[in-house]
Structure 1
Amino acid sequence: MSKKFREISDVPDVDIGEAGCFKYILIEVRDRGTTFNQSKLVVRGDAACGFHADVLDIMEEQIDKAKLKLDCKGGGRIRVNPQKRIISVYGYSMGFGRADHDKTVEILKKQYPQWTIEITDEEY
């Protein structure tokens, strides 16, 4: 079994697919330990997941639930085009509602500073 994230500082801000279109969720990670109630938002997306809840399930498996708590803040879709270095954020999750795409873009820009990251509602 792989090592689980025990500290909020160990949880990467972004973990998304390298290319293609896939479902994503915006998650608030909250600390239950020494820095009780400290939190941060993270972006997760996986092309292998058919449902937004599947993405959350993966994240749940990666954390120590005694130390960290997750709260899904909504979802949508992400399209990653590595050739053009463009990431598009759009849509919503039927189960979790629409994520705050502005916050998602803000987090993605830290991970991909040289890329164009945009919100578009042209497709779903």
Structure 2
Amino acid sequence: MITALDHVQLAAPEGSEGLLRAFYADVLGMTETAKPPELAARGGCWFEAGDVRLHLGVEAGFRAARKAHPGLRVRDIEAYAGRLARLGAEVVWDDALPGHRRFSSVDPVGNRLEFLEPTADARP
């Protein structure tokens, strides 16, 4: 039986770890976690915030995920969007999901990220 989502992995080009660290840690406010030594040799980096874990793995022939994306639930979405915009990240609002405020952004290698917060009228 599936009991939880352990992590989401996104691809990244070789040598992009510095850009990823600056974005995921400094802009999004996530914490970088150490990769096990066996996996660290492959490159990439891992981040977490609360129970959310994102792994960025190096992929040969990398192409950014423009449609596929993680949906990251946030608190105080207006303030969070303001933070991202102040720090230079793209913020594109979308009101097409009933019961939610949401926006999308892209990481520095072009992967799409969605940020959302349920509104008072959201159904469970």
The TM-score normalised by the length of structure 1 is 0.25
The TM-score normalised by the length of structure 2 is 0.25
